[in-house]
Each structure stands twice: as C-alpha cells, then as structure tokens.
Chains A and B, each alone.
Chain A
Amino acid sequence: DAGITQSPRYKITETGRQVTLMCHQTWSHSYMFWYRQDLGHGLRLIYYSAAADITDKGEVSDGYVVSRSKTENFPLTLESATRSQTSVYFCASSEGLVNIQYFGAGTRLSVL
C-alpha cells in the first residue's frame, strides 16, 4: 500500500554501534522529517529536508546524520549509538501550502 513506511519497526543495539533507520514515502512529497518521542517531551524534531539533497538540523540533532539522495527516501543514522538515544523515532512527510504531516508507524529503538 502506498504511504510512508519505516523500517525496522523494532531495533535493539549496543552503545557505540552505528544504526540506520529507514524511511520511504510514495507520495513524492517534498518535505520529510525525523522526530523522536520520549516520555515527558512529546515529539521533538531531529532533522528535516525540503527536497532531495537539502537537509537541515532540528532541535535535537546531535549524534544523528541524515541524507536524502532521492525524494522518496530519508534515512536517519545514529553514528555511535548512546543509551540516551533509546526512543521511538517517527518519520513524516508533507507537501503543499498547509503542509499537513503524515507519519510513518515509528521505529522503537533500544540502545543497551
């Protein structure tokens, strides 16, 4: 089915390892976003992208890297995972004047 998909849905890793979370959308939306959700903080923006090869930092970008070589893909990489990066990660995409964001199902990441 078309839409926005995230993989994997669940991931357990160890501190210091590199982890990549995938996000793929089929709508050809220009804008894509990565958020993390933690108890007591709601959703916080990690990175966003206005188009292929255009990315910028959000509120909590330290320790994360993104790329967007194709419009439909927006992978998020944790270069050296830390326990504080244990969280639920959401990818979203949007388009148009109103820019309603549509979210993927999320990836639950545990860093041990």
Chain B
Amino acid sequence: AQKITQTQPGMFVQEKEAVTLDCTYDTSDPSYGLFWYKQPSSGEMIFLIYQGSYDQQNATEGRYSLNFQKARKSANLVISASQLGDSAMYFCAMREGLTSYGKLTFGQGTILTVHP
C-alpha cells in the first residue's frame, strides 16, 4: 500500500489566488513527521514546511501552510497568493517513528502551474 498518496498529478491556479495540494498518508506509528518539498524546473529539492504528529497547531511558513487533519490522515499544503515562481513540482513526504534515522517516503508529486 502507498504510504504517501498525492492524487493530483497536475493543478492550475491563477496568479494571486490560493491553491491546495492534497496529501494523504498511511502509518500506524503514533510518532511521525510530514514534509513538503518544492522542485522547480531547475531540478533542486527545496524544503518548504514541516508538521510533527504531536504538533497541536498547523504549521505555517510565510505563504505556505499545512492543513493537518490527523484523524483523516491528510496533510494538505496551502499556498496563498500564488506567484508565477510557485510553478513547480511539489512533493509530500513522511518520516515514520523516532528511530527511523530520518528516512523519508515520498509521494509521486503534483505539478503546479500558476497562470498570469
């Protein structure tokens, strides 16, 4: 079974609008972490935001926020006020447990295109 599922292969958004990228995860470990990374066309992987399983509040980093719904096992990324530079591939990833040496399992990614 997939541990990280990103069901949207591609998403389109108008510049300055908000967009939500979906991510669901599957784990039986009570301790885990959820990450979002951005991969622009240049190819590098850029860390965006992190949510721990015990964190009470949704994580926010500038225009990025993580809509964490633990019971539904979802960790959607919300990008507010989209910019042309947000066009990229976005990956959701999970680290399971406290002794996993930080290993990440990635979803297949969502390509976001921002239209002017």
Binding site for B on A (CB under 8 A): 31, 33, 35, 40-45, 48, 50, 56, 58, 88, 90, 92, 94, 98-103, 105-106
Contacts and interface: CB of A to CB of B under 8 A. Distances in A.
Interface residues of B, number: 22
B102 A101 contact: yes
Contacts of A45: 103-105
A106 B95 contact: no
A90 B102 CA distance: 15
A44 B4 CA distance: 12
B68 interface: no
A42 B108 contact: yes
A98 B91 contact: no
Interface of B: 4, 33, 35, 37, 43-45, 47, 50, 52, 91, 93, 95, 101-109
Contacts of A102: 47
A58 to B, nearest CB: 7
A92 B105 CA distance: 13
A33 B106 CA distance: 13
A35 B105 CA distance: 10
A41 B45 CA distance: 15
28 contacts: A31-B101, A31-B102, A33-B103, A35-B106, A41-B108, A42-B91, A42-B106, A42-B109, A43-B91, A43-B106, A45-B103, A45-B105, A48-B102, A48-B103, A56-B101, A58-B103, A88-B43, A92-B45, A99-B101, A99-B102, A100-B35, A100-B47, A101-B35, A101-B47, A103-B44, A105-B44, A106-B43, A106-B44
Contact of B52 (A33, A90, A98, A101): A98
Contact of B108 (A40, A92, A103): A40
